[in-house]
């Protein structure tokens, strides 16, 4: 049985760990409020932006923009992977990297070359460990996330697609649903799917005819790069909010585990102390009986 000093030291160490996990939970909660507000405000903008593109593309069916044109043969695939720079957020990063690597391995099995565009150290390390080339690395920027990061990444993906370096670009990010749910999402970024797929169950929505200036072709030239950057920015905002929510939940679980461990160690301490007292009493009683004999 452990000594009283050892048990007391363990209780003190777990108590200090609890203070750290509780502080990290509070920090993650404060950051989550700001990140959640940003993604909730930007989602409606991004959805409306893409819906407007759908209307313009439907009116310009006879004209195909290079960013909308699918390649006859896909040889090179780029995967934009957004993860966090730090750990201690449960299985959040593992879920994202597993989704990205599953996609990459499936494309490689089809005989295609796969390369990664990584935002976040965890995704970069996972892709590098799996043996995939990393052509663009933006690690260490998730803590200071702004639109300039999405602008740089969007331009890099657009240039690679237009120059023929990649034939497809997929975006992998963590979608923030609520505090307890963050889903890994894999979506095709390029070529951009301007027309939404029709669902058989839902009735076809009535499309509104708009009058716009200049021509639809000119609007497509100006709007398509912005839509792609907006989609990348949305993915980054979703990933940021999901990271803080996952870390908040992980630190909350860690704090509760510390409480449980302190309780079990306290019971062990009391049992150990009671056993020591009982042993001392037995020694005293035994000594008295020996003197009597």
pLDDT tens-digit series, residues 207-266? 556 666 776 677 777 788 888 888 899 999 999 999 999 999 999 999 999 999 999 999
Could you give the CA distance from residue 288 to residue 48 in angstroms, rounded to a whole number? 90
The stretches of the chain forming alpha helices (DSSP H) are: 4-59, 92-109, 121-129, 147-162, 216-292
> Above pLDDT 70, what percent of the chain?
88
Q: What is the pLDDT of residue 62?
A: 46
Per-residue confidence band for 199, with pLDDT thresholds at 50, 70 and 90: very low
Nearest to 243 by CA among 15, 39, 7, 17: 39
27 Cβ neighbours under 8 A, 6+ residues apart: none
Per-residue confidence band for 204, with pLDDT thresholds at 50, 70 and 90: low
Per-residue pLDDT averaged across 44-67, rounded?
70
User: Is residue 132 scored above 70 in pLDDT?
Assistant: yes
- Where is average pLDDT lowest: 72-76, 263-267, 277-281? 277-281
Could you give the CA distance from residue 293 to residue 284 in angstroms, rounded to a whole number? 14
Relative to beta strand 181-190, strand 168-178 is antiparallel
Question: DSSP readout, 113-145?
Answer: EEEEEEESHHHHHHHHHTT--EEEE-TT-GGG-
State whether residue 168 is helix, strand or coil.
strand
Backbone angles phi, psi at 193, to 5 degrees: -85, 95
User: Is residue 35 scored above 50 in pLDDT?
Assistant: yes
Alpha-carbon 291 to chain mean position: 74
pLDDT digits (tens, 9 = 90+) for 80-128: 999 998 888 888 999 999 999 999 999 999 999 999 999 989 999 999 9
Could you give the CA distance from residue 240 to residue 39 in angstroms, rounded to a whole number? 9
Of the CA atoms within 13 Å of residue 220, those in its CB half-sphere come to 21
User: Is residue 200 scored above 50 in pLDDT?
Assistant: no
User: 134's torsion region: left (phi>0), alpha (psi -120 to 50) or beta?
Assistant: beta
C-beta atoms surrounding 25 within 10 Å: 19
Q: What is the pLDDT of residue 79?
A: 93
Asked if residues 118 and 139 have their Cβ atoms less than 8 Å apart, the reply is yes
Mean pLDDT of the residues in the chain: 84
User: Is residue 202 scored above 60 in pLDDT?
Assistant: no
Asked if residues 103 and 81 have their Cβ atoms less than 8 Å apart, the reply is no
User: Is residue 198 scored above 50 in pLDDT?
Assistant: no
Q: Structure pTM? A: 0.81
Token pair in block for residue 179: 């505090």
DSSP state of 69: P
Max distance between CA atoms of the chain, in angstroms, equals 115
Token pair in block for residue 252: 């909350």
């Amino acid at each position: 049985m452990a000594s009283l000093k050892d048990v007391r030291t363990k209780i003190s160490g777990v108590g200090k760990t609890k203070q750290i996990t509780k502080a990290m939970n509070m920090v993650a909660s404060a950051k989550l409020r700001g990140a959640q507000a940003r993604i909730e405000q930007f989602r409606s903008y991004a959805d409306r932006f893409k819906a407007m593109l759908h209307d313009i593309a439907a009116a310009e069916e006879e004209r195909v923009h290079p960013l909308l044109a699918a390649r006859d043969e896909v040889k090179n695939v780029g995967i934009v992977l957004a993860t966090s720079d730090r750990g201690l957020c449960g299985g959040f990063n593992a879920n994202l990297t597993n989704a990205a690597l599953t996609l990459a391995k499936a494309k490689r099995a089809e005989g295609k070359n796969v390369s990664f565009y990584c935002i976040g150290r965890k995704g970069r390390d996972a892709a590098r460990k799996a043996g995939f080339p990393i052509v663009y690395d933006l690690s260490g920027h998730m803590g200071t996330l702004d639109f300039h990061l999405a602008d740089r990444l969007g331009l890099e993906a657009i240039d690679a697609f237009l120059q023929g370096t990649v034939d497809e670009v997929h975006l992998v990010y963590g979608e923030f649903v609520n505090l307890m749910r963050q889903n890994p999402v894999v979506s095709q970024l390029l070529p951009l799917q301007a027309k939404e797929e029709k669902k058989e169950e839902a009735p076809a929505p009535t499309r509104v005819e708009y009058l716009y200036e200049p021509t639809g072709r000119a609007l497509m030239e100006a709007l398509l790069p912005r839509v792609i950057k907006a989609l990348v920015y949305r993915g980054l905002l979703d990933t940021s909010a999901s990271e803080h929510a996952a870390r908040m939940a992980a630190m909350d679980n860690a704090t509760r585990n510390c409480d449980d461990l302190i309780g079990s160690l306290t019971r062990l301490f009391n049992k150990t102390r009671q056993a020591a007292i009982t042993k001392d009493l037995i020694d005293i009683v035994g000594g008295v009986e020996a003197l009597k004999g």
